[in-house]
Amino acid sequence: MPDDIFDAVIVGAGPAGSACALTAAAGGANVALLERGEYPGAKNVQGAVLYAKHLDAVVPQFWKDPSFPGERNITEQRVVVTSGREDWINFSFRGGRYKTEPPNCFTIIRTKFDQWFAKKAEEKGAQLFTGVTVSEPIRTNGSVKGVKTSDAEELNAHCVVACDGVNSLIAQKLGVIDEWKMDEVAMGVKEVLAIPKEKIDDRFALEGNEGLTIEFFGSISQGMIGYAFLYTNKESLSLGVGAKLSDLRRKMIKPYDLLDFVKTHPLISRLIKDAKPLEYSAHLIPEGGLHSMPPLYGDGFLIAGDAAQMVNPTHREGSNLAMTAGHLAGQTIVEAKKNNDFSKSALAAYERKIKASYVWPDLWEHRNVEKNVEKDPSILEVYPRLLCEAMYHHFTADDRPKKEHKKETMKMFLKERGLFKMIQDAWRLRDAIG
Amino acid sequence: MSSSAVDARLGLLTYKNDHESHISIKNQDVCANQCKDKPCVALCPAAVYTWDDVKKNTKVQYENCIECGGCRMICPYLNIDCHWPRGGFGVAYKYG
Ligand SMILES: Cc1cc2nc3c(=O)[nH]c(=O)nc-3n(C[C@H](O)[C@H](O)[C@H](O)COP(=O)(O)OP(=O)(O)OC[C@H]3O[C@@H](n4cnc5c(N)ncnc54)[C@H](O)[C@@H]3O)c2cc1C
């Protein structure tokens, strides 16, 4: 480990850490990026859909880089609502505008992406050290002045940025968070399944580099807050399911049994037919949102990404918030270096930047969504079932006039849920869709 | 079904195993005498924890760990000490 004093030591080479290191180094700061994996991405799991706009802000025109490891450009996004095992409804949006470069979003394989992204940071002058687990921050006179590693080495810096993900040891050791509670995180389990490109194109009606995402809600999550997902890569599918850890605990469902429940669903089993498992993985997802967010800065430290609970679960966005936060933290470091001031009041600029970006308003808007669902989790089961029933009446032709079918559908909604309750549900869920 | 459901899956993974465990049970008596339903056994996605009903203790197969960090929160008695493996050790995803 080098003896020099870095302007910043950044812990974790995920989307937040690499964005931070790249931006800070590009602005002239002397930064070290520390990663506990043997290579960036070795420990990381994502769906994985990545959003172009926020990466473009850090690596302008990244899509023109021939080494950029994008999988498919997402042109179609689908929601499937399941009731029981046999009924489901599809909503799909295919946007012609998503065919342009850069796409709105695209699929990635995290290990490839993380290595590419960290390399981009290195090209700007950041020093990457892999296979280094940080064990604690070093404090001098109350201010953070570096880190200690699990091999008892020390690295000195004017500030430390915790980009170490959902299980942020750094934030814990800084005393700004406790262990998360089970209802502040979800557990995601996932498989990558190999399947030839032509089969993917045929099965999902795609052409060339077009890609599709599907999220499954309803009976698929067995009454738990969560959903399953199926994303198309070039020559593989990513299939996974996530549920609140507190819900898994309540139901005592083994995560891999839940994954099998998903894989054997009649629709999903057809979509993944003959696909060969390449890898299984599990990871936590922060879901506490704004209510769980720690202070984002202090004397000599900043916190970004999953470590700061920056995830918008209703939109499956996390990596973009992490990249944006890392980028803004990087800018803050460049300014702090210019003014030679890494004090708490100087680093407060980071929080102002976060609040001025989309990160804060999005987290604010979604802050109560999960809490509202938890007040009455039957929402998760009742509506998918009622919607499927309504569809059944709509499409069924029998001896009864259509009017009677409509009446019966209305009666069913009123009986099962009631007008007042439906208005209450709509109110509770209003922010989930926005 | 469950054990084969997880064994085949873990078989797909690459690990660089450290000779020392990064996971320990703080007090086995708590598992034996206080913990009724053993949530760590049910919920660990890598089947690291098994309950030995003869020896009355929780067995830890740290080599299986895929480092999600959930066990620390799952244990109702905060009786699991799970920290990160030393740098470079543990699971190494190829896809993630
Ligand atoms: C199953 C699943 C599906 C998801 N799907 C999506 C999706 O489709 N789209 C989306 O935008 N988001 C998705 N997310 C969320 C997204 O993955 C995260 O929000 C994102 O990875 C956060 O980036 P980060 O840099 O903050 O943290 P991470 O990506 O977790 O990176 C943290 C890094 O720090 C390293 N580290 C940790 N501790 C230490 C230490 N002590 N010393 C050194 N290094 C350390 C880790 O090895 C890791 O490389 C998903 C998450 C999961 C689990």
Structure confidence by residue, pLDDT tens digits, A82-125: 999 999 999 999 999 999 888 999 999 999 999 999 999 999 99
Name every chain B residue with its beta carbon within 8 A of the beta carbon of A37. 88, 92
Structure confidence by residue, pLDDT tens digits, A254-273: 999 999 999 999 999 999 99
Tell me which residue in B39, B68, B94 faces A283 most closely, judged by beta carbons: B68
Work out the percent of chain A whose per-residue pLDDT is above 90.
89
> Region A213-227: what's the mean pLDDT?
96
Whether A104 has its CB under 8 Å from any CB of chain B: the answer is no
Name every chain B residue with its beta carbon within 8 A of the beta carbon of A179. 72-73, 78
Structure confidence by residue, pLDDT tens digits, A422-431: 888 888 887 7
Residue to mutate among B6, B40, B73, with most A CBs inside 10 A, is: B73
Whether A254 has its CB under 8 Å from any CB of chain B: the answer is yes
Whether A255 has its CB under 8 Å from any CB of chain B: the answer is yes
CB contact under 8 A, A284 and B70: yes
Residue A166 CA to ligand 1 center (angstroms) comes to 7
Whether A36 has its CB under 8 Å from any CB of chain B: the answer is yes
Listed residue (A313, A314, A308, A316) closest to A355, CA to CA: A308
Residue A164, ligand 1, Cβ within 6 A: yes
Structure confidence by residue, pLDDT tens digits, A144-155: 999 999 999 999
pLDDT recorded at residue A426: 86
Residue A49, ligand 1, Cβ within 6 A: yes
* Alpha carbon separation from B52 to B5, B29, B65 (Å, rounded): 20, 13, 19
pLDDT recorded at residue A434: 57
Residue A228, min C-alpha distance to chain B (Å): 16
Closest residue, chain B, to A149 (C-alpha): B87
Structure confidence by residue, pLDDT tens digits, A338-386: 999 999 999 999 999 999 999 999 999 999 888 888 888 888 889 999 9
What is the value of ipTM here, to two decimals? Answer: 0.97
pLDDT recorded at residue A283: 98
Residue A21, ligand 1, Cβ within 6 A: no
Q: Which of A186-190, A287-291, A330-334 shows the lowest mean pLDDT across its residues?
A: A287-291
With H, G, I as helix, E, B as strand and everything else as coil, classify residue A167.
Answer: coil
Whether A48 has its CB under 8 Å from any CB of chain B: the answer is yes
Boundaries of every domain in chain B: 3-85
Q: Whose CA is nearest to atom 31 of ligand 1?
A: A14
Q: Residue A433 — pLDDT band, cuts 50, 70, 90?
A: low
Cβ contact A244:A250 at 8 Å = no
Length of chain B: 96
Tokens describing residue A115: 């290595």
Asked whether the CA dihedral A50, A211, A255, A314 is positive or negative, the reply is positive
Whether B7 has its CB under 8 Å from any CB of chain A: the answer is no
Q: What is the spatial distance between Cα A130 and Cα A233, in angstroms, rounded to a whole number?
A: 27
pLDDT recorded at residue B2: 57
Cβ-based neighbour number of residue A234 at 10 Å: 14
* Alpha carbon separation from A170 to A301, A303, A305, A418 (Å, rounded): 10, 9, 13, 49
Q: What is the spatial distance between Cα B61 and Cα B48, in angstroms, rounded to a whole number?
A: 5
User: Does CATH number 3.30.70.20 belong to domain B3-85?
Assistant: yes
Q: Whose CA is nearest to atom 2 of ligand 1?
A: A46
CB contact under 8 A, B66 and A282: yes
CB contact under 8 A, A111 and B96: yes
Chain B (31-70) residues lying within 8 Å, Cβ to Cβ, of chain A: 37, 39, 42-43, 45-46, 66-70
Residue A48, ligand 1, Cβ within 6 A: yes
Tokens describing residue A299: 């004397």
Whether A306 has its CB under 8 Å from any CB of chain B: the answer is no
